[in-house]
Amino acid sequence: MHGIFGMLDNWHSFASQLGKNHRVLTIDLRNHGRSPHSDVFDYPSMVKDLEVFLQTNDLEKAHLIGHSMGGKLAMHFAMAHPKKLLSLTVLDIGIKYYPPRHDFIFGALCEMDLSKFSSRNQIDEMLSGRIKSFAIRQFLIKNISRNAKNGFEWKMNLPVIRANYDKIIEWIPMGNPFPQKTLFVRGENSDYILDEDWPGIQELFPKAVLKTISGAGHWLHAEKPYELLKKINKFLNKSS
């Protein structure tokens, strides 16, 4: 499961490699990608979405993998439905509250009138004034599609995501510890999971192990896909 502003397409190459040894399903979370838009956007609603998804695909139990916001959703689901999971893998996100980190992105995207652009290059040029990273701009531009009038529009429900952002960065409430094996993977250059966060994580996930990928930041699957794939395959083989 992807993070905020993401979609299942972000995982295509990685999922294809993981799929050599496992059945892999990737999903667009609500208000993202090709999934339906809704005025309700919080973890409880996405937990229900995921439960329906597993039922629809005849999955009594599954190994659940989530990155960033998708990782927090995975943890919420694990706390609510521990018997539906074989294992849990959380990529570069912890259980704590995270101060807002995406305001500059929301500002740049919400101020753009997509109807005024005729090419993706024009959109990229406009975004470059606010977002210096080319990689981040390309990641965001994947959220743009052509509409019936051959103009551009956002695939994601940007106003609702922004309005409910405070619900996405909230902490994971304490509950009964998750009884299954859990893998946390962080990037060496990322500050999302700090050493001091680990004791609190272990209270909720007592069977958790923490792995660090050298030279990687927050976008593990994009920056170090081979290293991440190796760690996840090893973990899943032990957890099956």
Write out the catalytic residue numbers: 68, 218
- Residue 230, phi then psi, degrees to nearest 5: -60, -45
**CA nearest 26: which of 37, 42, 11, 44?**
11
State the amino acid at position 129 in one-letter form. Answer: G
Q: In Å, what is the CA distance from 5 to each residue of 2, 141, 157, 192, 209?
A: 8, 10, 9, 17, 28
The secondary structure of 186-240, three-state, reads EECCCCCCCHHHHHHHHHHCCCEEEEEECCCCCCHHHHCHHHHHHHHHHHHHHHC
Residues 164, 170: contact at Cβ < 8 Å? no
Per-residue tokens: 41: 């956007």
Give dist(CA 78, CA 166) in Å, integer. Answer: 21
- Residue 17, phi then psi, degrees to nearest 5: -70, -45
